[in-house]
Amino acid sequence: MMGLIQKIHILILLWGAWEGYLVYEAFNNKKLEIANQIPVLNQRIAKAQREKRQIKEYLRDIEEAKQNIEIVAKEVETLQRKLPETIKDAENLAMIKEIAEGLNIKNIYLSPGIEENKGFYFTKRYELSASGTYLQMLIFFEKIGVSERLLNIKNVEIKKSEEKQRGRFQLINAKVTIEAYRYNPNHKEDRGIDEIEKNFKDTKKKPRKRTRKKR
């Protein structure tokens, strides 16, 4: 009987040891599983940090772009305010004709065109046909450029005159396009900032593509 009791005692000890081993083995397996997940977690953390840095850099770029756009827009609006409010055809035509006649340019013919909307300003063209020498035309262009009115020589077509030459200077026939400007009171320079921010928000909302794990 005593021998049986001793054997039962040994069996209990062995069973306890086995249970302890199983617990220890399960703990080690769990620890190994966690240890294997650490590199994956580190990669995910590193990726998240990179994305965070990229977002910060992108936001800085957006903010810098917004500031640059605002500077340019304000420069455009400042220039816009320097343009005249109206284009006075009668006064412009009279001044152009007066300059041409003052240089003894002949066969002067002037005709106003229509206004064209160029965004923050309007242009109006005057077509001039006239005859004179190269020197007379060059001085005419210079006087138009330095006049108080905002006028610009847009285009020039020159060809040799068929009239009999009376002096030592070659006569030419010229067709000149002169532009006048006025500002557009209904125009406000588009910053495009709202669109930039909308595109950024839309990019953030796009779902990320999930990659399948290789087995």
Q: Which fold has domain 89-183?
A: Alpha-Beta Plaits (3.30.70)
Kindly state the DSSP code that residue 171 receives in the 8-state scheme: E
From first to last of its 215 residues, what are the pLDDT tens digits of the chain?
Answer: 545 455 565 656 666 666 666 665 665 666 566 656 666 666 766 676 677 777 777 777 777 777 777 777 777 777 767 778 888 899 999 999 999 999 999 999 999 988 999 887 889 999 999 999 999 999 999 999 888 878 888 999 999 888 776 667 888 999 999 999 888 888 776 666 666 666 666 665 655 555 555 54
In the prediction, which pLDDT does 46 show?
A: 67
**What is the rounded CA–CA span in Å between residue 40 and residue 32?**
14
Cβ–Cβ under 8 Å, residues 114 and 124: yes
- Closest-CA residue to 99 (of 146, 39, 47, 52): 146
Return the ∠ at Cα 29 (arms to 14 and 40), rounded to 5°. 175
Measured between alpha carbons, how far is 102 from 147 in angstroms, rounded to an integer? Answer: 14
Residues 48-96 have pLDDT tens digits of 667 777 777 777 777 777 777 777 777 777 776 777 888 889 999 999 9
Domain ranges within the chain, ordered by starting residue: 2-79, 89-183
In b/e form, how buried is each residue of 24-61, taking b as 16+ CB within 10 angstroms? Answer: eeeeeeeeeeeeeeeeeeeeeeeeeeeeeeeeeeeeee
What per-residue confidence (pLDDT) applies to 64?
78
Angle between helices 2-82 and 193-205 (to 10 degrees): 160
